[in-house]
Every structure is written in structure tokens, then in C-alpha cells.
């Protein structure tokens, strides 16, 4: 059975006024209501598990044929510069929200047509917005439909990836990424990027080559997350996809981790536990990826920002009373635990970064905010903070000048003595003894530390 075809369409002003044309376009492209759409595909129709494979295959074929007949109309509207193409694209984008239309939109050539004109729509923002909606929906999940003899598991992946492959082949990624700079288009561009990249390696690699990380971080740093930050998660996920790509070493900004931490610091953590954790995880992942990201964190003052963020947030999560009861109870304990784990993971990367020779007193003097925080953390009752202080101070104390200042000006051996006498944690003990060892390298310090006569370890701790 052949599919029904759209009714005749004439755009000439001599035969039809503007309202008639608009009505005609609306009828032809309203795929959910137009009675001429084949096989009763009207609003409310559902294809489900009880619908046979052959029947669904027939309906999919009918949709493809119907959309194929629409192509000359949209082509004419585009070539004639008609504003009615905006409405046509809107109707198609509306239909693409339904999973049953995504395969036909890709297989009929409709998707390819709009991909072809997308780079030329900069002067037509309304049209571009609708095309972005269409593209974003077309590369989303195609649902649980059975297509002919192909099993569900195979057909879904094939057609979903086929639509995304079309988008890649048209090389429209640069155009979509540029739309992140447009306040109106950016929320739609974010969704397209997310749907393109999720579980699709070719798109992730191409996005990395097109410097998506740089653009997404710039978008996040501006604090413009679309409608009420609803798209923040859709930004974080692609960043997570980018981090493992080898091209990121070259393409991602060297200060990526610092910028991500700055974005995390600006979040309302009471309502953004998951997003906060993702940003910290991605920042930590970049620090492990290449030394350029660790050096940039040091050179741009990122160690101060990271330490402040970690300690402040750790304490707020440790004390539920510091978070409103309603917000705290809205999240399961495992979400809070994950945020704490993300902080500790980042903390470990900060400690490893401090071992680089670039981490020096010239950039982080003891009388700076960073130095004051370390001295304060050394006297904290929280062992995780004691560990941070011991390791970071120990790496700063690699020079005699710094180690002498720590002993003679800040008297930190008194705090060290308290840690050594009370801790039974092997990691804390090792960090404290490592710091003490660096302090003892200075002959002047040896005299002071020897005269103090206070340094003792917890019995049985070694």
C-alpha cells in the first residue's frame, strides 16, 4: 500500500493570500493531526509492544514516504526565502519529539535537508531554533519500536546512530557549538550536543577536535544555563565525555580544571549536589590527564581556590544543620556521600599536584590566604584537613628558608606534636613525619626542634 501524499501547495500571491498559505503549510506539516497522514497516525495513536513487527515496519515505511513527498515543499520554501519555512520546521520539530517519527525523519532525507541549510540560517534565528530542536530530537533515543525482522536491541542503536552519523557527515558541529554564544539558541544547542555525544564515540571525538570543552566552560562560566539552570547537567555530561579524549591534551584550555572549580564554587550546592560532584570529578580527571593542567592550576592561583572550595564544602556537608532541612532531606544520603567522595578525590589530585617544582613559596607565600589556611588546617580536629596541611606544607618546605619560617615564626612543630601524639592513622602519621623530616633538613631548625623536646608519636603507631 502506498502512502498518502500531501495536498497541493502553491505559494504564489496571485492565487492565495498569506493566511491561506499559512493554513496550507500548517495542515501539511501537522503530522499529529492531519487526517491525510497515512495509517491513522493522528494524535493519540500509540505503537506499543502489542503492535506486530510487520505492522510497525509498514507504518515506518509509510511515514518515510510521506516525509519524502514533503521535501520538495520545504525546498521551495527555502529557495524562495519564505518565512513559512519557520512554521514547517516547527511542525517537524514537534513531531520529532515523538520517538516514532525519528527514524522516518532520518531515513526520508528531511534531517539531511535541514542539516544542509543550518549553516546558512544565521540571519533567521527563529528558523535556526526550530532546526536545532529537530536535530536534537532526531539524535535522541528512537524508543522501543521493532522494525521488521530486526531485533529491538539492534534496530534502536542502528537508527539512532545513523541519524547522528548524518549530523557528523554534514560537519555542522562548528555551527552548533557557536550557537552556545547566543543567549536564545544556547539552551537548544546544549541539548543537541548532549544527545549527539551520549554513548557515541565518533561525536565525542569530533566535539573534542572542535574545542567543545573551551566553549562549554565559557558558557558555564557566564552563569547562563538556559532556563533556570535546567541545562547544567547537559553541560556537565559532555565535558565528562571530552576528558578521556586524547585530543583534549591539545584542544582543552590549560586552565580547564581551575575554570571548572570556579563554576562549582558558584553553584548553590543545596540544590546541585549531583552537578557539583560531576564538576569536581571532571576537574580531577583533567588533572590526571596531563601535566599542563596541573601546572596551569598552580600558576593561576588555583591551589588557593581548590583548597578553599574543598574545605568549605566538606564542612557544610559534614554538618547537615548548615544546610536547610528541606534541601538536605530532598537528596538521598548516597548523593551527599558522592559529593564528599568527589571532594576527597579532588583533594588527592591537589596533593599530587603540589609535588611539582612549580608549586613554590613565590606563588604561595606563608602570609597569603593559602598559607594561613594551611596553618589553620594543621590544628584542625579533622584528619583529612591535617593530611592536606602536612602534605602541602611539606612540599612548600623543600627550601631551608620556608622550613625555618614555619618553625621559628609559625611554631608549627607544636601542632605537629599534637598530631603525632594523637593519631593512629598511618596516612596522617606518614604525612606528619614527612613534614617533620623536611623541617629537620635545616641546621637551624634542628636546634630548635631538639630543644623543644616535645615531639613524640602515639605508642604503637609505627
- Structure confidence by residue, pLDDT tens digits, 85-126: 999 999 999 999 998 899 999 999 999 999 999 999 999 999
CA–CA separation, 127 and 113 (whole Å): 13
User: In this model, does residue 14 exceed pLDDT 50?
Assistant: no
What pLDDT score does 22 carry? 63
Identify the band that residue 328 occupies on the pLDDT scale cut at 50, 70 and 90. Answer: low
CA–CA separation, 208 and 249 (whole Å): 10
User: In this model, does residue 457 exceed pLDDT 80?
Assistant: no
Facing residues of 158 across strands? none
* Contact predicate 392/348, CB 8 Å: no
Determine the structural domain holding residue 297 and report its residue range. 254-359
Better pLDDT: 223 or 252: 252
* Residues 3 and 102 reside in one and the same domain: yes
What pLDDT score does 264 carry? 94
* Residues 57 and 164 reside in one and the same domain: yes
Better pLDDT: 153 or 404: 404
Q: How many structural domains are present in the chain?
A: 3
* Residues 26 and 165 reside in one and the same domain: yes
* Contact predicate 289/248, CB 8 Å: yes
462 located within any domain: yes
Which residue intervals of 122-265 are DSSP H helices? 125-138, 152-169, 173-178, 186-197, 201-209, 212-221, 232-242, 248-251, 256-265
Q: What is the pLDDT of residues 405-422, one digit of tens each?
A: 999 999 999 999 999 999
Backbone φ and ψ for 330, nearest 5 degrees, come out as: -75, -15
375 located within any domain: no
Mean per-residue pLDDT of the chain: 83
* Residues 398 and 329 reside in one and the same domain: no
* Residues 151 and 258 reside in one and the same domain: no
72 located within any domain: yes
181 located within any domain: no
* Residues 298 and 405 reside in one and the same domain: no
166 located within any domain: yes
* Residues 49 and 159 reside in one and the same domain: yes
403 located within any domain: yes
68 located within any domain: yes
* Residues 322 and 416 reside in one and the same domain: no
Q: What is the pLDDT of residues 55-75, one digit of tens each?
A: 667 788 888 998 998 899 999
Among 308, 317, 318, which residue's Cα sits nearest to residue 392? 308
User: In this model, does residue 395 exceed pLDDT 50?
Assistant: yes
* Residues 279 and 426 reside in one and the same domain: no
What pLDDT score does 127 carry? 97
User: In this model, does residue 274 exceed pLDDT 70?
Assistant: yes
* Residues 38 and 124 reside in one and the same domain: yes
* Residues 417 and 289 reside in one and the same domain: no
Amino acid at each position: 500500500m502506498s502512502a498518502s501524499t500531501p495536498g497541493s501547495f502553491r505559494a504564489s500571491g496571485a492565487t492565495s493570500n498569506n493566511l491561506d498559505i499559512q493554513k496550507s503549510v500548517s495542515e501539511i506539516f501537522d503530522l499529529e493531526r492531519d487526517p491525510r497522514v497515512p495509517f491513522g497516525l493522528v494524535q493519540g495513536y500509540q505503537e506499543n509492544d502489542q503492535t506486530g513487527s510487520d505492522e510497525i515496519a509498514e507504518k515506518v515505511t509509510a511515514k518515510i514516504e510521506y516525509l519524502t513527498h514533503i521535501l520538495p515543499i520545504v525546498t521551495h520554501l527555502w529557495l524562495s526565502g519564505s518565512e513559512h519555512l519557520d512554521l514547517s520546521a516547527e511542525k517537524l520539530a514537534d513531531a520529532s519529539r515523538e520517538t516514532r517519527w525519528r527514524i522516518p525523519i532520518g531515513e526520508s532525507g528531511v534531517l539531511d535537508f535541514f542539516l544542509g541549510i543550518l549553516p546558512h540560517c544565521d540571519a533567521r534565528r527563529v528558523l535556526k531554533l526550530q532546526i536545532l530542536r529537530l536535530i536534537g530530537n532526531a539524535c535522541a533515543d528512537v524508543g522501543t519500536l521493532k522494525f521488521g525482522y530486526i531485533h529491538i536491541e539492534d534496530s534502536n542503536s542502528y537508527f539512532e546512530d545513523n541519524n547522528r552519523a548524518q549530523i557528523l557527515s554534514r560537519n555542522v558541529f562548528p555551527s552548533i557549538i557557536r550557537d552556545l554564544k547566543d543567549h536564545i539558541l544556547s539552551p537548544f544547542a546544549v541539548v543537541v550536543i548532549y544527545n549527539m555525544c551520549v554513548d557515541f564515540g565518533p561525536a565525542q571525538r569530533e566535539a573534542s577536535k572542535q574545542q567543545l570543552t573551551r566553549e562549554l566552560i565559557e558558557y558555564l562560566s557566564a552563569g547562563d544555563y538556559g532556563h533556570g539552570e535546567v541545562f547544567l547537567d547537559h553541560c556537565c555530561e559532555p565535558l565528562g565525555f571530552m576528558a578521556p579524549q586524547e585530543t583534549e591534551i591539545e584542544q582543552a584550555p590549560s586552565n580547564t580544571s581551575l575554570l571548572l572549580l570556579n563554576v562549582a564554587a558558584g553553584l548553590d550546592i543545596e540544590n546541585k549536589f549531583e552537578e557539583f560532584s560531576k564538576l569536581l570529578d571532571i576537574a580531577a580527571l583533567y588533572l590526571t590527564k596531563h601535566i599542563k593542567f596541573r601546572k596551569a592550576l598552580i600558576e593561576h592561583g588555583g591551589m588557593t581556590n581548590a583548597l578553599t572550595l574543598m574545605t568549605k564544602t566538606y564542612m557544610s556537608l559534614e554538618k547537615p544543620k548548615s544546610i536547610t532541612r528541606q534541601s538536605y532531606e530532598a537528596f538521598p544520603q548516597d548523593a551527599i556521600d558522592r559529593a564528599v567522595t568527589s571532594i576527597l578525590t579532588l583533594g588527592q589530585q591537589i596533593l599530587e599536584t603540589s609535588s611539582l617544582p612549580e608549586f613554590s613559596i613565590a606563588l604561595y607565600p606563608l602570609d597569603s590566604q593559602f598559607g594561613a589556611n594551611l596553618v589553620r588546617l594543621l590544628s584542625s580536629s579533622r584528619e583529612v584537613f591535617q593530611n592536606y596541611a602536612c602534605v602541602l606544607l611539606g612540599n612548600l618546605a623543600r627550601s631551608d628558608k620556608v622550613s625555618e619560617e614555619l618553625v621559628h615564626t609559625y611554631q608549627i612543630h607544636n601542632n605537629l606534636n599534637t598530631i603525632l601524639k594523637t593519631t593512629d592513622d598511618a596516612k596522617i602519621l606518614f604525612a606528619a613525619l614527612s613534614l617533620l623530616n623536611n623541617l629537620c633538613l635545616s641546621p637551624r631548625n634542628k636546634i630548635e626542634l631538639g630543644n623543644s623536646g616535645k615531639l613524640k608519636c602515639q605508642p604503637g603507631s609505627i
